[in-house]
Amino acid sequence: MTVLAAWLVIAAILLFGLTLHRALVLRLNRGVNPSFRDGTDLLLSGVLPGLALVGGLATALGAIHLLRVEVVLPLAAMLMIWRRDDVLAIFGDLRNLAVMGGRATAKGNPFPLLASAAFIGLTGVMSVTALFPAGSADVWAFQIPLAQSIVSHGGFVTPQIDSNFYGNIPLFFNVLFASALLIVDHWLAAGLMNVAIFLGFLLLLTSCAHRWRAAGLLLVFYLIAFQPFFTPGAAVPLTALPRSCFSVAAVLFLWRYLETGRPSEIVSCALLLGGAVGGKYTELQMVGLVGLALLPSIYRGKMPFSLFLTCLAAFLSLAGYWYVKNLIVLGNPIYPFVFGHPGLSDQWMADYRLELGRAFDPANRVFVTDLTTRQGWHDFFFILHDWFLDRRRYAIVALILIIGALLASFRRIFVLVATTTAMFIIWYAVMFNHIRWATPAYLLYFSTAYIGASLIVEKIAASSAAQPGGILFEMSARLRQGQRAVNGHLFAFAVVLVTLVVFCLPAVKFMSRPKRQPYSWMEQGTMDVLIGRQKLDDFLGAQREGYIIYRYVAANDLRIVFQPFDTGSTLYAAAYTGGRDKGWLLPTYPESESDVDAFIERNHIRYFIRVTQKQQLLAERIGAAKFALAEKTISRMLPESTLLLKDGFGWELYRFNGFPPQ
């Protein structure tokens, strides 16, 4: 029921955002004929700009501490009533999209039905995987607490959480998380907001094709959704993937503006760019790249000055608050970099810059990132091949499509290819510490491949119409005649068969080899949950250390539980119980062996967790001295304790009955 409630809230947010976006498009494109391509395009391309507008409005409310249910709901209702014609038009576009798909399917075109099934299937799978609590401590230490802090304060405070660094960085995506958490107070709502952003990006990319969008959606799924780089993080409430989606979407809207000249496209680009920059400092690089791409249009006078000012206002309305706030409060708009870091020691900043400036994995520190040297370029191309191309069929297909598009429509694809290249270069030269920092560049790479495929199709269609003849066009004509001869059914069967082989063959293999996951982006055991072979609680209990113990602690509201062996105990206990820590666990240690009895009494310890496996690993993780103190404390309580529960990872929960009277 939590999944359904969260999706209903997010659907309402999406409808509100689409309404705002449609109203903005009609106003900006006034006098442009046509003002937009068609209702389907406006529907598919409006999800991310709509969410950007929602985030901007929520930021404005949060700045004055009015991001509260009693304010947000009436305000949203009034705006929806005011723009009721746009709301009705959106539902009309949805109805028309369904009608067109039904008619095409009835005529023997299988693509709309296949695309709909793939979209619904992917949404369902990600909705289930969103139920799996994230294994990343950053989710529970920073992202969810930041969103919850925004909700509890009705807006923004300084710092937002008890961390001078994470409490003062741009929080645009945490504001979007908070918008969902306002209604559904569970971390699942934040995860599904990420899913909505990811799916909205896929729909935007699909809408960039001028024809065959249903078939295009299948290609988008093949290139992006069904490969292991992006989808595993789509349902995890971290900001890396949504930030990348916003950043790359801004480039796609830039390309659409250069193609059509419609003002709404470049303003949408500015909105998404503002959201990306409002989510992380690193996206400031994209401002420079978009500005460089627009320079020729500005220089030639193709972009009116009034439109430039509108874009600037749209960008600042989303990104400006975080930088102005930090400038006023901390004296540094990009705190804690360049201009100073009050509240953080010089040593902390030195260590942090060292961490950012070198590869996390020591094995990768041998690569030269100085691109003023020959070795630097050699290592750059080696990394591109080894990390992003080698043994990756999706990436090879994408490269072929990009090369084909450069040959077919060099001028139209050049901006995307150049931006992709620049992003990879910036990542390697400046941020080469982990492959995840290259997510925007890699996502734009596959997006460019899809645009390239659509341009190739357009080129073939235009050449066929202008110059009938030739063996390629003759074969195409014969295929079309054969399709018409069998009323399309044989063609439809062939398309369905190929699609099922491409997308479902891994699942078929899974049925014969159930111990392997059908798709590499799925966590081990996910398919068992999806097909009902295993319950979610049983799956998490079998896959996650401490899950059964922490769930029991929360269900019975046990206090105080001594847990010295899990450094993220309070984070994961909250993760497994809805996202909030109610003070169940005590992760601290006695000061010394002589302090053990006093420590137990002082903290009113009534329960404790003992771990009987991986003792050496635990000692290395928490330190030998702390491990010895933990063992001493537990050995002191163990004779007077009762075993309550144990799991398959060697975790045991005991109730301490108290020291016997002297």
pLDDT digits (tens, 9 = 90+) for 264-302: 999 999 999 999 999 999 999 999 999 999 999 888 888
Q: Which structure tokens are listed for 33? A: 């004929």
What is the rounded average pLDDT of the residues 226-240? 87
List C-alpha distances in Å: 350 to 183, 366, 433, 612. Answer: 41, 21, 16, 39
pLDDT at 254: 96
pLDDT at 431: 86
| pLDDT band at residue 19 using 50, 70 and 90 as cut-offs | very high
pLDDT at 32: 82
pLDDT at 191: 93
Phi, psi at residue 535, to the nearest 5°? Answer: -75, 150
**pLDDT above 60: residue 359:** yes
Q: How far apart are CA 479 and CA 579, in angstroms?
A: 57
More confident residue, 440 or 589: 440
Q: How far apart are CA 616 and CA 619, in angstroms?
A: 5
Q: What 8-state DSSP symbol labels residue 54?
A: H
For residue 88, what are the contacts with CB-CB under 8 A and spacing of at least 6? none
| pLDDT band at residue 592 using 50, 70 and 90 as cut-offs | confident
Mean pLDDT of the chain: 86
Q: Which structure tokens are listed for 134? A: 């994230």
Residue owning tokens 């306002």: 182
pLDDT at 514: 54
More confident residue, 467 or 236: 236
For residues 218 and 111, the answer to whether their CB atoms sit within 8 Å is yes
DSSP bridge partners of 466: none
Q: How far apart are CA 602 and CA 377, in angstroms?
A: 61
**pLDDT above 60: residue 363:** yes
Q: Which structure tokens are listed for 108? A: 């023997």
Prior bond to 159 cis, omega within 30?
A: yes
User: What is the distance in angstroms between the CA of the first residue and the CA of the last residue of the chain?
Assistant: 53
pLDDT at 178: 95
Q: Which structure tokens are listed for 249? A: 């979407």
* Among the listed residues 544, 280, 208, 572, the one whose alpha carbon sits nearest the alpha carbon of residue 436: 280
Give the model confidence (pLDDT) of 170-212 as tens digits.
Answer: 999 999 999 999 999 888 999 999 999 999 999 999 999 877 7
**pLDDT above 60: residue 218:** yes
| pLDDT band at residue 308 using 50, 70 and 90 as cut-offs | very high
Q: How far apart are CA 516 and CA 522, in angstroms?
A: 10
pLDDT at 489: 57
For the chain, percent of residues with pLDDT exceeding 90: 48
Q: How far apart are CA 183 and CA 6, in angstroms?
A: 8
In this structure, how many other beta carbons lie within 10 angstroms of the beta carbon of residue 471? 7
**pLDDT above 70: residue 471:** no
DSSP bridge partners of 655: 607, 642
DSSP, collapsed to helix, strand or coil, labels residue 655 as strand
**pLDDT above 70: residue 322:** yes
Q: What 8-state DSSP symbol labels residue 19?
A: H
What is the rounded average pLDDT of the residues 404-414? 92
| pLDDT band at residue 517 using 50, 70 and 90 as cut-offs | low
Lowest mean pLDDT among 15-19, 455-459, 523-527, 619-623: 523-527
pLDDT at 590: 87
* Among the listed residues 204, 216, 198, the one whose alpha carbon sits nearest the alpha carbon of residue 452: 216
Strand order in the sheet with 607-611: 585-586, 561-562, 607-611, 651-656, 641-646
pLDDT at 516: 57
DSSP, collapsed to helix, strand or coil, labels residue 578 as coil
| pLDDT band at residue 465 using 50, 70 and 90 as cut-offs | low
* Among the listed residues 287, 283, 279, 184, the one whose alpha carbon sits nearest the alpha carbon of residue 238: 279
Q: Which structure tokens are listed for 393? A: 């069929």
Q: How far apart are CA 1 and CA 260, in angstroms?
A: 44
Q: How far apart are CA 29 and CA 263, in angstroms?
A: 6
**pLDDT above 70: residue 467:** no
Q: Provide the b/e sequence for 154-178 (b: ≥16 CB within 10 Å).
A: bbbeebbbebbbbbbbbbbbbbbbb
| pLDDT band at residue 581 using 50, 70 and 90 as cut-offs | confident
pLDDT at 485: 47
Residue type, 360: F
DSSP, collapsed to helix, strand or coil, labels residue 590 as coil
Give the model confidence (pLDDT) of 538-564 as tens digits.
Answer: 888 887 888 888 888 888 888 889 988
DSSP bridge partners of 586: 562
**pLDDT above 80: residue 147:** yes
pLDDT at 482: 52
* Among the listed residues 509, 429, 530, 437, the one whose alpha carbon sits nearest the alpha carbon of residue 229: 437
**pLDDT above 60: residue 571:** yes
For the chain, percent of residues with pLDDT exceeding 70: 90
**pLDDT above 60: residue 483:** no
**pLDDT above 60: residue 480:** no
More confident residue, 141 or 50: 50
CA 124-450-452 angle, to 5 degrees, is: 175
| pLDDT band at residue 40 using 50, 70 and 90 as cut-offs | confident
Q: Which structure tokens are listed for 625? A: 């001295």
* Among the listed residues 210, 174, 218, 102, the one whose alpha carbon sits nearest the alpha carbon of residue 461: 210
pLDDT at 477: 58
H or E element that contains 540: helix 536-543
